[in-house]
Amino acid sequence: MSDNRPVGVFDSGVGGLTLLRELDSFMPYEDYIYLADTARMPYGTRTEDEIVAYSEQLIHFLEKQDCKMIVIACNTVSGLLPQIEKDIKSTVPVVGIINYGCVAAALYVTYNFRIGVWATQRTVDSQVYRKFMDNFDPTVKILTESCTDLIPLIEKGKVGSPEMRRLTDKCIQPMRNEDIDTIILGCTHLPFIKTIIQDILTPAVTIIDPAKRTAVLCNKTLMDKGISRKKHSAPGTKKFYVTGDPDAFLKTSKLLIGDMATRVESVDVGQ
């Protein structure tokens, strides 16, 4: 039986569009609802209690839209997923972007076992990637660095600006000095500047984008639960909601991913 309900995706801002892009590429026949909490972003500087409370509101909103699965396109929130799941007891599967897939992929390609994780300060402090890696190999060196200062520039769509290049170079230098050969993009905003990151690090460093592994995991979850859309002959639809300025989001999204979003609606999720 085909389940035609939409898949819900949420993030604090435009960063989660990188995951939506991967989901749509992998499962173009599914309908999607994207929700960005732009009124309260960035999450990387919020307290744990605030993040959990905001996330519960966003999940409840997507549940009311009859979403069959909810995907957390935010590393900061995904690091708190066990607590969130315990509090909300969602009736639909909730999938976080931090998963064993991206950690296993990094472990598979590294040859000197020195892996960098670039994420917001909140994700860095949680050491969630260290915890995942310990389940595979606790001897692997994980080197973390904060990318929080880059988020405002990406949210404004300034991915090709000289300032972006300069700040990226500055922020990533400590991991370069530690001779990493693999880096996990631990923030969904970072794939938008993947070309700059690769250029700075050189092709000798392998970049792991968790969004690709998460898309595969989401497809498996839908199939395992028997809720995938089996009957399809045309691309699915996409709806976009924000808690802040819809025009600002639409403008930035066009700069980053083209015309995927043609209409953005502002909503109140209870803040």
Is the same domain home to 115 and 206? Answer: yes
Nearest to 7 by CA among 28, 15, 18: 28
- pLDDT higher than 80, residue 168: yes
The residue-averaged pLDDT of 60-76 equals 95
| Residue of 67, 147, 171, 187 marked active site | 187
Q: Give yes or no: 67 in active site.
A: no
% of the chain residues with pLDDT over 90? 77
Q: Does residue 74 carry a catalytic annotation?
A: yes
Measure the CA–CA gap between 222 and 61, rounded to whole angstroms. 20
Specify whether the CB–CB gap between 77 and 55 falls below 8 A: yes
Domain end (from 162, 181, 210): 210
**What is the pTM for the complete model shown?**
0.92
**Domain match, 90 and 223 both:** yes
Considering the chain, what is the average pLDDT of its residues? Answer: 92
Residues 93 and 42 in one domain: yes
Percent of the chain with pLDDT over 70: 99
What are the tokens at 128? 């969630």
What do you get for the CA distance between the two ends of the chain, in Å?
A: 37
Q: Which of 67, 74, 102, 171 is catalytic?
A: 74
Residue at 2 is within a domain: no
Band of residue 41 on the pLDDT scale cut at 50, 70, 90: confident
pLDDT beyond 80 at 149 = yes
How many domains would you assign to the chain?
2
Q: Which CATH number do you get for residue 153?
A: 3.40.50.1860
Q: Residues 247, 189: one domain? A: no
Closest C-alpha among 120, 105, 93, 257 to residue 188: 120
Cα 266 to Cα 263: distance, rounded to the nearest angstrom: 10
Residue 271 falls inside a structural domain:
no
Mean pLDDT over 239-244 rounds to 97
Name the nearest CA neighbour of 12 among 120, 89, 87, 130: 120
> 80 and 171 share a domain?
no
Q: Would residue 1 count as lying in a domain?
A: no
Same domain? 173 vs 106: yes
Kindly state whether residue 44 falls inside one of the protein's structural domains.
yes
Q: Is the dihedral of CA 110, 111, 113, 119 positive or negative?
A: negative
Res. 107: pLDDT tops 70: yes
Same domain, 161 and 115: yes
Residue 75 near residue 43 (C-beta atoms within 8 A): no
Query: 135 vs 75, 80, 103, 131, CA distance in Å?
Result: 19, 18, 10, 7
Domain shared by 81 and 33, yes or no: yes
Average pLDDT of span 220-226: 95
**CA neighbor of 154 nearest in space, from 27, 16, 246:** 16
Which phi and psi (to 5°) does residue 159 adopt?
-75, -20
Orientation of helix 81-88 relative to helix 48-64, angle to 10°: 50
* Tokens at 165, concatenated: 């290049």
The sheet with strand 206-208 has its strands ordered as: 141-146, 114-119, 182-185, 206-208
Domain that residue 41 falls in? 7-97+212-266
Confidence of residue 271 (pLDDT cuts 50, 70, 90): low
230, 249: one domain: yes
Q: Is 264 strand, coil or helix?
A: strand
Q: Are residues 110 and 91 in the same domain?
A: no
Same domain for 55 and 129? no
